[in-house]
Amino acid sequence: MSGQTIERENVLSKNFSTPFDTVPFDQISTEDFIPAIHLALTNGRNEIEKICNNPSKPGFANTIVALEQSGKDIIRISKILFNLNSVETNAVIQQIVRDISPLLTEYSNDIALNEGLFFRIKSVWDNRSKLRLDKESEMLLEKTFKRFTRNGANLTPDKKELIRGINKELSDLSIRFSENVLNETNEYSLHITDENDLMGLPEFAKEVATNVAKNEGKDGWIFSLQAPSYSPFMQYVDNRALRKELFMAFNSRSSKGDKNDNQAIINKIVKLRYDRAQLLGYDTWADYILEERMANSKEIVYDFIYDIKKYAQPVATKEMEELTAYAKTLGFEDERLQRWDFSYYSEKLKKEKYSVNDEILKPYFKLENVLNGIFEVANLLYGLSFNKNSEIKTWHDDVVTYEVYNETGNFVAIWYGDFFPRPGKRAGAWNNTLQSQWVEKGKEFRPHVVNVGNFSKPTNNKPSLLTFYEVQTLFHEFGHALHDMLAKGKYASLSGTGVAWDFVELPSQLMENFVYEKEALKLFAKHFDSGEIIPDELITKIRESANFMAGYGTLRQLALGLIDMSWHATKPNGKAISEVEREADLTHHLYPETEAYTVSPAFSHIFSGGYSAGYYSYKWSEVLDADAFDMFREKGIFNREVAESFRENILSKGGSQKPMELYKKFRGREPKTAAMLKRSGLLTID
């Protein structure tokens, strides 16, 4: 009406009227988040109060299930916000995250430390033997009870307040850590104007760097710390001084004593985690975390790391001796290689030994072809089909969206793919959900899954062509997506990737195996220009080169796991970051001392992700995936019986049962380390 202001409706505060209830990103304003989350928090608190004040005797349905199904709008809005903060952030979104995160932490604390609520949960737990629950419901009850006891429900009031403060501060520090790494990554660029400085760099990498420079209104070439720019530079550029410059920029991120420095933040995070563990009755943060993992003690983790190290270290030492000797045949004059020499000389040696490198392989890995190959693999294994839907709204024009269906035509999931770097997007690759799978009041909610990467964008002359490592990465993240898409449970918190951290990488790493298989590669590896299917001799070379520098790669992965444990498995002792890393880095002896080289200040997995005291899980899961994939190899990599068993016993079950129980149902026994050692070429040492 004339003279009246019509208040805009907050789309986040209502159910979405969109295809498959997908997020209407085109309708969301940043102004919507704070009022929407305030309303959702109020409603969530009312739901908790209703549970606490229920006059009926505490039961599984009116307490445990009611708690599980409370706060759904909080989860929905948070998933949207934190997805945007990862893939398309800006100063406004970052401030919203800073404003909202304390509110979410306070809400979580209010629930975890609610005495009336815990009284009801404990009552159900104490009477569990009389409830006759199915396995999934038993697991929900167990995890709910443990979640409360492990978050301070049994503490005295004064200690509960300390836990509240620690939780809030840890949330704030994690956000600051992540922002600092993103800022440091975005603020650096290497501008080169003399083409002689780029001798050795393939045309595909030059073209990308030229386009970046043009977009910034500059001549020459611009390189960044994003993987599609950084990795080719380190592998191919002959200019050693420039390789060192870029290497040190990457490996000193957030450690320069400036506004983006994370060193003090790390010390605060580590101390607060230790204090929190102590308050809860655990010796260290690692003891607290590992209680709920497959490797359920730090002793098991250390034994695992050092057992694999026995096989990897002599192989890695031999590999580095060979690489150094090879570098000297090319004119390298120093006694030992530096860290910024490794990628350069190993790429050359790999090509000489196996006549294969990324420059040769990239033309066969057009992004769209690889995607179609992944979809076909998923169809052959699990009967899934993927229909592109350009009408579903996304957060950026680069994002592609697909509807996923099973063989009987039933809707399975929505899948989003976001593959190119941009300033508002953090580095790396990951999987997350905008909506999980669960059942409520007889209605099943199907998942909306997001896969993110940072691959080379198409240029004026070429489509997006992936390195072989990027192909592996795409398959890896899609393995996580399958875990979420094929979930078939009752409870969202146990659905899909809601499993122990050292089990969550099994489906993702199992999918990586397919990129080495001829049957799979022939489905999608086609030359982007000629359409030629990848020749058998190149597939042979890919397989032969699979274990190239595997000893070093294994040692490097174990070293990262040890750095993680060094921070979290002992009492904080005030040691400098450089000292902690030097003692834990298993590759340290292979190189001369490198001043200002650090890992921890940009180690987002353990300081702003979910992998604290858990980075070992990547290698742990390698044992699982190698052992599991042997079963696929034995009966055919696309054997539907094996795939159906993996779907039924692993993918669909999520966290509804203990990981080892699920694995044994699939494999018929516990996993054996031998398959991983054999696959990596670490069992035999000349």
Active-site positions? 477
Farthest-apart Cα atoms in the chain, separation: 87
443 has which bridge partners? Answer: 440
Torsion sign (Cα): 627, 628, 631, 636: negative
Asked if 73 contacts 15 with a C-beta cutoff of 8 angstroms, the reply is no
CB-neighbour burial class of residue 94 (10 A; exposed 0-12, middle 13-18, buried 19+): middle
Inter-residue contact 467 to 365 (CB < 8 Å)? yes
Tokens of 619: 């290698």
- Written as one letter, the residue type at 560 is L
The β-bridge partners of 49 are none
Q: Look up residue 180 and give its two tokens.
A: 């600092």
State whether the Cα torsion 54-58-62-63 is positive or negative. positive
Give the C-alpha distances (Å, rounded to integers) separating 89 from 101, 183, 408, 410, 590: 15, 11, 39, 35, 39
Whole-number Å distance between alpha carbons of 121 and 113:
12
Q: Half-sphere exposure of 435 toward its Cβ, with a 13 Å CA cutoff?
A: 20
Write the DSSP symbol of residue 5.
Answer: P
Of 185, 181, 183, 182, which Cα lies nearest the Cα of 230? 185
Q: Count other C-beta atoms under 10 Å from residue 565's C-beta.
A: 25
Integer Cα distance of 577 and 563 in angstroms: 10
**CA proximity to 587, closest of 558, 564, 612:** 558
Query: What Cα–Cα distance (Å) separates residue 325 from each residue in 125, 197, 322, 329, 632?
Result: 64, 25, 5, 7, 39
Q: Which residues pair with 448 in a beta bridge?
A: 414, 435
Tokens of 202: 């393939």
What is the 8-class DSSP label of residue 533? B
Q: How many helices (H) and strands (E) does the chain have?
A: 27, 9
Q: Using an 8 Å Cβ cutoff, are 60 and 141 in contact?
A: yes
Angle subtended by helix axes 33-52 and 115-126, to nearest 10: 50
Q: How far is the C-alpha of 361 from the C-alpha of 539, rounded, in Å?
A: 10
d(CA 226, CA 216) in angstroms, rounded, equals 16
